[in-house]
Each structure stands twice: as structure tokens, then as C-alpha cells.
Amino acid sequence: MKPHLPIKYALLLLLLAQCLVSTANNPQETKDKQFNETYTKIATEIASKDLKKALKMSDSLLLVAPDDYHKMKCLMLLATLHQRSGNFAKALVCAADAEKLAPDDEKGNAFKVRIAGFLSTLYRDVNLTEQARKYLEIAETTNLKLQKSPATNISQALILQEKAYYAIEEDHDYKMGLQQLALAEKGFLEVQDQASKDVFLATNDQLSGLCYLNLKNYAMAKESLLSAITRLGSTESELKAFIYCGLGDVDVAEKRYQEALSNYKLAESYAHRSNNSNAKIALSKSMASYYTIMGDAKTALAYQNTYSNLSDERTLATKKISNQLLAELKEKENGNNRLTFLLAGASAILLVLLIVMWLFKNRKEKENRFKYEQLIKKMEALQQADKEPAHSLLPKAEPSELMSKESEDRLREGLNKLEEKHFFLQGDISLSGLASELNSNTRYVSYIINKYQEKDFNNYINGLRIDYALNDLRTNPMVRKYKIAYLAQKYGFSSHSKFGAIFKAITGISPSVFIENLDKDDKGKRIQLVTQEAS
């Protein structure tokens, strides 16, 4: 099971931790109380509710920052907010700008710890795991060189928490994850500010709950997740989306389906409120699985489509990262070696993405080809066996309690005749309209369809339409040249998206994949024919 992790959360916590401790130790920051209060409000309250507003306010705060120290804080806040919004290129540039301002002293090295930790999480977001682990090691090594203090203890705790992410996400070593989290908890307990301590520990509890869930220790998983909720209390946080989703998963595992639905609905409200794409992806996948278990295929399909769309959006966004990164770095480039290194990193990202995309595309094409070949075999088997179409009414002899046998036979014969005339291609066909065509009522017609097809009206009609579409596309090559939107209308569907969704739900592949493979087969046959004639 894919871990439900708030991937971008740890670095914002690190940002706040360093701010809280350093404010107490730095006289300059103590004097500038208004600046620090505004900074903390943006990083906590506003960022959790409205990212766009938080970004605008952070830009404004950067303009009035009194010195390099405050500018570094603002730049790292901006980097974290850009990362959470999905703009990885801007996040990386802000982090690079912050690093330029960091002096080679105790305070500067403290910032370098944060920047290295930030880059570790950023590279993990784009699946460059080796690069990410490298920066995490830099962060830990630099932190150990600093004079031991509450700030370094918190930083080390967050580094351990980040290691737990790797144990869970990459290594699937949930026992190791629990060990790292237990060590991290000791550091978080030293945090003086109660609100910050609660957030740190709540994140730890959420991750512990995830580990226990994967280890099938459902009692401990639930205990950890409920502890996370208790620690957050009334605090508005995107973390709650992941916590309630985890509680729902525990309930499903223990077959408490009503409780699971309640927790999923709570998770859904927090996911949409925070607009966290990771939370939405995790939740839609869990709810698709839940409704599948509950036998609600329609709702399960809707959530599965949401999951697929969100995943596709994330894939497209990731594909744009390299180009955005290159553009941002070129604009900022001034011969600095640091930026040259980042540019090389961007090229590495692009190369890895291209390889991953090619592998994914190749695997997907093979899967689609297999599904296509299975579909063609089924169609050919029906033709060779001279069977009736899959969605025609099959004769049954059971007596009816609702109507006479003569009435049943009349309605069945009428439906078969209408099928032959392809009545189902009418876009506005309805149960009442069909009943009128058959000089009957909706109750009787619905009864006949349910009894002999074991389907409701909509699934019956959609099945007939897809059967017709499959045969039409296979036997009429010219039809394949039309746009999918036109084909949707031709086969009686109200929209391109509805046609595609129902086609894929019934056949396992999309209309475009089916057409592409049909054309591929036809081309292969033509080449084979030309070869035979030439020989």
C-alpha cells in the first residue's frame, strides 16, 4: 500500500523550529518583534488555510526584511510554500538564494542545515532518491558540527523524522521507521513552545500509525492516529486529512465500514480545505477501494477516476519541473558555482524523468495491448460460436409473478427488434421512452431487463452501445478517423468523457487505445500482404 504521507510538511516544521529557538537567542530578532510575529502568522495560520495569500504576504515581507538573516528566513519560507504549491523550480531557486546569504559561522551553518534538509525533501518529491539522501546526510553532518543547543536537537529530530519517511516510502521497512520516529520523539519533547511541540509530535504519531497499519497492528495504528488528533486539537492542519484517512483504512481493515466512511468524509473535508494534492490522491485511492468492497461500483469508479486524474495531473506537473527549473536557473545564473551545480541537477532530473516516462509508456502499451488482444479474442469467440450479442435478452423459462408469460414474450420480442434497429444509439433514450415504444410501462420494462439481463436500465443501454461501438470500429476503418467527441455522439453518449469512462470500465482500455491497436493490426496485415505478393 502506498504510504499516505504529507510529504512537504516536515520542512515547514523545521523552518518554524529554527525560528522559535533562534528568536530567543538573537537580540536583533527580539527587537524586531512585529516582523517575527508576522512571519510566524504567515508560516502557521495563513499557510494552512490559503497558500496563495501566504505567498503574496511572504513576498511583501521579504521586501521589508531589515537584514540578511531575516531575508534568509523569508526566502526559506517562500521556498517551502512554493514546494507545497507544486512549483519546485521556484522553491529550489529560493533555497539557492537563501544559501548565498548564509555566512560561514554558527548561525549561517544552522541555516545550511535547513537548506540541505529542504533540498533533500524536494529531490524526494521528484523521485531522485539518491540525491535526496545525499542532502539529508549533508544536513545531519552539518548539524552535528554545530554547538549543541535546543535548535540542533530539534533539527536532529526532524532529520530522524525525514529518515522515517525514507524507511516507509522507499524501503518499506516499517520497523525501522518506528525506530527512527521513537528517536525523533525524544528531540521533540524538548521543544518549549507547546503549540509547536504538539504539531511535531502529531506528525510523528501519524507516521507511527502508518507504520503500524502496514505491519497489521491495527490496535497500535488506531492508538497512534487518535493520539495525533488529540495533539492537534482545534488546530487547522492539512495533516488531519492524512490522519483521518489512516483511521478510515484501519476501520476498513477491521471491517468497521460505517466508522470508515465517517473518517473518510472528515479526511475529505480537510483535503479539499487545504487543497493538498497528496492528501487528495491518497484519499481518492482509499475511497475507491472502500466503495469496491461495499459493492458500489458506480461510486468506486468515480473515486478511481478522481485518483487517476489527480495522478495524471501530478505526472504532467512533474514533467514540467525540469523545463521550469532550467528557465528559473538561467534567469538567475550569474556564474555562481552553486547555480551551475543546480543546473546539472536539473539536467539529471530531466534525464531521469525521460527514462521513467519511457519505461512507464512502454509498460502501459504492453498492458493495453494485452487487454486489447483479450477483448478481440472474446469478440471472435462470440462470432465463431454464432452466439447472440452479449447484451441481447437471453431466453429463460422461469414463470413470472408480475406478468403473464405472453406479456413477457411480447416485451422480450419487442426489445430484440428494437436492438436490431439500434434504438440505444439515441442520445435521449430513457426508460419511460422505451416503455412508450413498447406500449408498456416502466415497471414492466425494468423488470424484463433486470430479470433477463441482470442489469439496470442504464447499464443495459451502455452495454449495447459499447458492443455496437466495438464492432463498428473494428469493421469500419474510416470511422476510426473521426474524433472521439464525434464518436461519443454517434454511439449515443452525452459527452467525450462519459463515453471514455464507460468504454474503459467495460473493456479495460480507452477508445483511443482500442482504435490505435486496430490501426496497428490493419497496417501489419497490409505489410504482410505486400510481402506475400512480392514473394
What are 54's three cell numbers? 501566504
Please state, in angstroms and rounded to a whole number, the distance separating the CA atoms of residues 128 and 124. Answer: 6
Please, are residues 353 and 318 in contact by the beta-carbon 8 Å criterion? yes
Report pLDDT for 83: 80
Cβ neighbourhood burial of 455 (10 Å; 0-12, 13-18, 19+) = middle
In angstroms, the first-to-last Cα distance of the chain is 55
CATH of the domain at 449: 1.10.10.60
In 3D space, the residue among 258, 257, 274 whose CA is nearest the CA of residue 243 turns out to be 274
Which helix (H) or strand (E) segment is 161 a member of?
helix 150-169
Structural domain total, the chain: 2
Q: What CA dihedral angle connects 454, 460, 466 and 471, to 10 degrees?
A: 80
What are 532's three cell numbers? 506475400
CA distances from 91 to 70, 83, 196, 283 (A): 18, 5, 24, 26
Report pLDDT for 252: 94
Of the residues 183, 216, 249, the one at which a domain ends = 216
Please, are residues 202 and 236 in contact by the beta-carbon 8 Å criterion? no
Q: Note whether residue 482 is domain-resident.
A: yes
Q: Note whether residue 33 is domain-resident.
A: yes
Which amino acid belongs to residue 340? T
Report pLDDT for 182: 93
Could you give the angle at the alpha carbon of 226 between the alpha carbons of 229 and 186, nearest 5°?
Answer: 80
Please state, in angstroms and rounded to a whole number, the distance separating the CA atoms of residues 499 and 466. Answer: 9
Please state, in angstroms and rounded to a whole number, the distance separating the CA atoms of residues 72 and 61. Answer: 11
Mean pLDDT split into 10-residue runs, the chain, 535 residues: 45 46 48 78 83 89 86 89 80 84 82 85 72 86 88 88 86 91 90 86 94 94 94 87 94 94 91 80 90 89 86 65 55 55 71 75 80 83 59 48 83 90 90 90 90 88 92 90 90 91 91 90 76 63
Of the residues 199, 216, 233, the one at which a domain ends = 216
Report pLDDT for 395: 46
- Residues listed for the chain: 535
Q: Which residues contact 498 (CB under 8 A, 6 or more apart)?
A: 488
Q: Which residues contact 46 (CB under 8 A, 6 or more apart)?
A: 53, 54, 57
Report pLDDT for 220: 96
Q: Note whether residue 240 is domain-resident.
A: no
Q: Note whether residue 339 is domain-resident.
A: no
Q: Note whether residue 241 is domain-resident.
A: no
Q: Note whether residue 104 is domain-resident.
A: yes
Of the residues 184, 216, 248, the one at which a domain ends = 216
Report pLDDT for 209: 93
Write out the residue range of the structural domain in which residue 97 sits.
1-216
CATH of the domain at 71: 1.25.40.10
Which amino acid belongs to residue 45? E
Q: Note whether residue 462 is domain-resident.
A: yes
Cβ neighbourhood burial of 35 (10 Å; 0-12, 13-18, 19+) = middle
Task: Compute how many other C-beta atoms are within 10 angstroms of the C-beta atom of residue 117.
Answer: 25
In 3D space, the residue among 288, 277, 358, 353 whose CA is nearest the CA of residue 311 turns out to be 277
Please, are residues 59 and 78 in contact by the beta-carbon 8 Å criterion? yes
What are 222's three cell numbers? 488506531
Please, are residues 255 and 214 in contact by the beta-carbon 8 Å criterion? no
